[in-house]
């Protein structure tokens, strides 16, 4: 069959090209425009050291327009110059309240590892503000933070009255996996939304529309989910067709009938919701993890 022969010939050429034979050049991974070793960075004074423990640093936000770099860490939001990270370092101190820390310790949590304000959500909200959330010693809080605030000094304090409730936006437990994104002014969050981390859910909040979430304690929706990523995808020129995708792993309900597998098999999943009118759509993939 001529068509089949031509297709096999094309496949052979592609394979030979990928293998680096005379028929073509081997594929090469893209290379960075500049490369520096760690010793070179230290020698040139381009390393910024922060006193952090494992788990203190959660996310880094790049603001190319404002030429700033933001880092969400334990009890602080840190920013520095994008052109020279060792200059112009500013810290916004945002601790959990003493009462919340005491309550957290009384619940049997560790003061250093649990009972602090671990920043777990950090996104640009608009050209002038960031939106950030922290665990608040198992009482999550969120805040709109003006970027101009960092021009006032190098040591700043965020007061409790400048924050709002973070339930449904940020996890209680700093050790739980979290995936969030601000899309068209709304916060989409895949989090564990209770003190015991038993209620894993996907939320939409932060707009004039009412807060909405997946069904609570319904294992047909989510079962001990661990969220990885939230992303918006435009599927056509019509904004009403846009979808929000959430990537996560969870214990596979369909595998619980297998001998010795109950509660042990993790599946990687992809799900989506409609952005304009929230309604869940079928899972796109079920992959053993």
Check residues 284 and 73 and name the one with the higher pLDDT. 73
What does the mean pLDDT of the chain come to? Answer: 80
Residue 133 contacts residue 169 (beta carbons within 8 Å): yes
Q: Give CATH for domain 52-166.
A: 2.20.25
Task: Please tell me the predicted confidence (pLDDT) of residue 57.
Answer: 82
The predicted structure's pLDDT at residue 214: 87
- Percent of the chain with pLDDT strictly greater than 70: 74
For the segment 253-270, the average pLDDT, to the nearest whole number, is: 70
Kindly report which listed range (4-8, 39-43, 51-55, 135-139) carries the lowest average pLDDT score. 4-8
**Residue 220 and residue 217: Cα distance in Å, rounded?**
9
Percent of the chain with pLDDT strictly greater than 90:
47
Whats the size of the chain, residue-wise? Answer: 289
Compare 217 and 161 and report the one with higher pLDDT: 161
The pTM assigned to this predicted structure is: 0.79
Tokens of 54: 């494992």
């Amino acid at each position: 069959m001529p068509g089949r022969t031509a297709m096999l010939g094309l496949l052979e050429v592609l394979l030979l090209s990928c293998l680096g034979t005379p028929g073509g050049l081997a594929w090469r991974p893209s290379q960075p425009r500049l490369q520096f070793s760690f010793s070179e960075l230290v020698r040139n004074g381009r390393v910024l050291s922060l006193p952090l423990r494992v788990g203190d640093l959660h996310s880094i936000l790049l603001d190319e327009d404002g030429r700033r770099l933001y880092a969400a860490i334990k009890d602080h939001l840190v920013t520095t110059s994008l052109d020279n990270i060792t200059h112009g370092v500013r810290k916004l101190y945002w601790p959990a309240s003493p009462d919340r820390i005491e309550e957290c310790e009384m619940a049997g949590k560790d003061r250093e590892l649990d009972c602090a304000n671990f920043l777990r959500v950090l996104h640009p909200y608009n050209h002038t503000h960031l939106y950030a959330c922290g665990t608040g010693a198992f009482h999550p809080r969120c805040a709109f933070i003006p970027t101009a605030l960092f021009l006032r000094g190098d040591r700043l304090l965020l007061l409790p009255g400048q924050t709002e409730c973070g339930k449904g936006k940020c996890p209680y437990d700093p050790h739980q996996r979290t995936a969030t994104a601000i899309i068209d002014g709304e916060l989409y969050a895949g989090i564990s939304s209770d003190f015991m981390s038993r209620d894993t859910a996907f939320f939409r909040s932060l707009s004039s529309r009412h807060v909405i979430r997946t069904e609570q304690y319904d294992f047909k929706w989510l079962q001990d989910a661990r969220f990885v990523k939230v992303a918006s995808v435009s599927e056509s020129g019509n904004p009403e067709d846009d979808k929000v995708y959430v990537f996560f792993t969870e214990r596979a309900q369909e595998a619980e009938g297998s001998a010795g597998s109950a509660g042990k098999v993790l599946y990687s999943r992809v799900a989506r919701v409609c952005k304009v009118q929230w309604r869940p759509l079928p899972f796109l993939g079920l992959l053993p993890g």
